[in-house]
Amino acid sequence: MKNLKLFTLSLFFVLITTVTVNAQKATNPIIFADVPDLSMIRVGKVYYMSSTTMHMNPGVPIMKSTDLVNWKIVSYAYDTLGNTDELTLSNGKWDYGRGSWASSLRFHKGVYYVSTFSGTTGKTYIYSTKDIEKGQWKLTSFKPSLHDHSLFFEDDGKPYMVYGTGKITLVELKEDLSGIKPNTQPVTIIENASLPAGTGAGLPAEGSQLFKINGKYYLFNITWPRNGMRTVVVHRSDKLTGPYEGQVALKDQGVAQGGLINTPEGKWFSYLFRDFGSVGRIPYLVPVNWQDGWPVLGINGKVPETLELPVSKGLIPGIVASDEFNRKKGDPALPLVWQWNHNPDHAFLSLTKRPGFLRITTSRLDTNILLARNTLTQRTIGPVSTGTTLIDISGMKAGDQAGLMLLQRKFGWVGVKHTGSKKTVVAVSAQNGTVIGEDVPAGQQTIYLKARCDFENRTDKGYFSYSFDGKTWKPIGEPLQMSYTLPHFIGYRFGLFNYATENAGGYVDFDYFRIEAK
C-alpha cells in the first residue's frame, strides 16, 4: 500500500509538471486575428513584421516582438495610399479588397524597407526609414504593380524584385529603387512554380519570399491545387537567376504563405498563416530543421499545437486595445490599433471639441453604411471577443444612423436611427435587414452598445445588444452569421460610425470603446 501511495504521488507530480511545462509554451495560432501576408525580419534581438490591411488607413502595419510570440503595432508605412474616388469612398466608389496587398519587409545597410503594390493605382511602392518605430517613411513608387513581390538585396548591394503568379519573374531595380533598371529585361527564373504540388489547376504559386542562406537562394511560395489545400512550395538554387529545383515543404491544415526567420540562438521557424473563417487569416509559426540543404517544416510534416517559445500574454493592448478617447498633450490622435475604413476626412473628426470623446460629424448624404466615410475600426479577435461603446446621440439629425458595427461585406450593426422627431434603437444586417427595437426614451442622451463575436471552432456568430443604463442589457436582432468574403478580403472588424441619409452636419460623441477577449 505504501508503494502504491508513493507511485500515485509520483505520477501526480509528473502530471502537474507536464501540465505546467506545457502551460508555459506558446500555442498556435500565435495571433488569433487577421494578420495575413506576413513578412518578417530580425535585427539583433528584435523582430519586426509587416502585414496586409488593404483598404484600411493608415496602411501596412509594422509590428514588433522580442520573442516571436508577443507582438505590438509600432508604426505604419503610410497614412494614405492615394486620393482617388475609390480610396475616399466618393461618388459611389469603394476600394474594398484592394488598396495595398502583400508587403515585403527588409533591412539593408542600416535602412529598413517595406514594399507593397496596389491594383487600385497600378503601382509598386517602396517605403524606407532608418527608424522603423518612430521615423518618417520615405516613399518611392513606380509602375507597373509587381504582384506579390519580394524585395531582395544581393551581396553586392544590387536591388531586385521577384514576383509573379505561377511563372516567377526576376527584375533588377535602379540603385535608388525608383523603378526597374533601364536597359534590363525581366527574367523568368521558374516557369511553373506550382509544379511540385501537382499539375491540377487551382491557385497558381504566388506570395514569393526570397532568402539567401549559406550561399543558397530559397524561394517560398503558396499554391492551392484543385481539390487540395493551401500548400507551401520551396525552390532553391545556387544562383539568383537559377536554375531552381523545388519541393513541397508543408501541406497541413492549409497553413501556408510566408517565409523563414531564425532566433539569435540559431533556431529556425517558418512564419505562415491560415484561413480561419470570418476572423480572417491568422498567423502560425512552424519549427524548421535543415536536412541536405533544405528547410524541413513542421513536426513530422505537421503544424504543432505548441512551440518551444514563451507563452502569449494576449493580443490586448499590442494588437487591439480599449480606448477612453482621453488625450494628454503630446499623445497621438489615435492609438495605432485603430484604422479608418478607407481614407478619413479629418475636417469632420475631432477629439478636442469635446475632450474625452471622439466626435464624428456627417459631411454628406450616404445610402449605404459601406459607403459611410470616417468609420473607425480595429480587429476582432478569437476565439471570442466583445466590443462595447457608449454614445451621446443628442447631436444627431433626422435621417442619421450611428452605432457599433461588425464590418465585412455581410455586415451587422446595432445603434440608433433618427427618424422624424424620434430616435429608435435598431439592429441592421446585410443578412436580416432592419430589426426595430424600442424608442429611445425622451430626454435620454446616451446609449450603450455591444457587439460580441464567437469564432470558436468557426462558429462565426455575431450578437448585438444595447442598454440605457449600462447595467441591464437587451439583445436585439437575430445572430449575425458572419462570413469571410473575397470582395472585402479582410477579417471582421469592430467599427464606430455615423452617417447621414437626409441632412448633413449631425454628430455623435463616442465616450469610449472597450474590448474584451476570452
CATH for 388: 2.60.120.200
324 in any annotated domain: no
pTM to 2 decimals? 0.94
**Burial per residue of 154-178, b for 16 or more beta-carbon CB atoms within 10 angstroms, e otherwise:** eeeeebbbbbbbbebbbbbbeeebe
Looking at the structure, tell me whether residues 202 and 298 fall in a common domain: yes
Residue 20 banded pLDDT, cuts 50, 70, 90: very low
Task: Work out the pLDDT band at 8, boundaries 50, 70, 90.
Answer: very low
Q: Look up residue 230 and give its three cell numbers.
A: 493551401
Q: Are residues 427 and 304 in the same domain?
A: no
Choosing from 264, 290, 310, the residue where a domain stops is 310
40-48: list long-range contacts, CB under 8 Å, 24+ apart.
Answer: 40/105, 40/258, 40/259, 40/261, 40/271, 41/105, 41/106, 41/107, 41/261, 42/261, 42/262, 42/263, 42/264, 43/107, 44/264, 45/264, 47/261, 48/74, 48/105, 48/107, 48/112, 48/132
On whether residue 203 sits in a domain, the answer given is yes
Query: Based on the domain organization, do 276 and 383 belong to the same domain?
Result: no
Please, which pLDDT band fits residue 92 given cuts at 50, 70 and 90? very high
Confidence of residue 199 (pLDDT cuts 50, 70, 90): low
Residue 86 lies in a domain: yes
Please report where in the chains the cell 492615394 appears, as a residue.
82
- Please tell me whether residues 291 and 354 are part of one structural domain: no
Burial of 197 (0-12, 13-18, 19+ CB in 10 A): buried
The domain in which residue 495 lies consists of: 345-517
Task: Give the domain-ending residue among 310, 331, 363.
Answer: 310
CATH at residue 149: 2.115.10.20
Q: Which amino acid is it at 384?
A: V
Q: Is pLDDT of 507 > 70? A: yes
Last residue of some domain: 291, 310, 329? 310
Point out the residues that are catalytic. Answer: 37, 206
Residues 300 and 358 in one domain: no
pLDDT exceeds cutoff 60 at 173: yes
Q: What is the pLDDT of residue 197?
A: 93
Residue 453 is assigned to a structural domain of this protein:
yes
Interacting residues of 174 by C-beta distance below 8 A, sequence separation 6+? 159, 180, 181, 182
Q: Is residue 12 part of a domain?
A: no
pLDDT at 18: 38
The answer to whether residues 370 and 282 belong to one domain is no
In this model, does residue 200 exceed pLDDT 90?
no
In this structure, are 425 and 303 located in the same domain? no
Give, as one character, the DSSP assignment of residue 5.
Answer: H
Residues with Cβ within 8 Å of 202's Cβ and at least 6 positions away in sequence, in order, are 194, 223, 224, 225, 226, 227, 228
Tens of pLDDT, residue by residue over 416-437, are: 999 988 999 999 999 989 999 9
Structural domain count, the chain:
2
The H-or-E segment that residue 252 falls in is: none
pLDDT band (50, 70, 90) for residue 227: confident
Specify which residues 129 forms β-bridges with.
112
Residue 98: closest CA among 512, 509, 489: 489
Q: Which of 22-36, 37-51, 105-119, 239-253 is the least confident region?
A: 22-36
Question: In this predicted model, which residue has the larger pLDDT, 329 or 454?
Answer: 454
Residue 45: per-residue pLDDT:
98
The DSSP-derived string for 12-69 is HHHHHHHHHHHHTEEESSSS-B---S-EEEEETTEEEEE---BTEESEEEEEEESSSS
State residue 23's pLDDT score.
56
- Is there a domain that residue 115 lies in? yes
257 and 300 inside one domain: yes
Same domain, 306 and 403: no
* pLDDT, mean of residues 162-172: 97
Looking at the predicted structure, is the pLDDT value of residue 9 above 80?
no
d(CA 359, CA 200): 53
What grid cell was written down for 202?
487551382
Q: Are residues 176 and 56 in the same domain?
A: yes
What integer pLDDT is reported at residue 201 of this predicted model?
63
| Lowest-confidence segment of 159-168, 199-208, 259-268, 360-369 by average pLDDT | 199-208
Identify whether 227 is part of a domain: yes
Nearest alpha carbon to residue 363 among 373, 376, 350, 371: 373
Residue 140 lies in a domain: yes
Domain identity same for 286 and 394 = no
Of 359, 361, 341, the C-alpha closest to 350 is: 359
Return d(Cα 232, Cα 274) in angstroms, integer: 12
Are 190 and 302 in a shared domain? yes
- Mean pLDDT value of segment 31-55: 98
pLDDT of 344 strictly over 80: yes
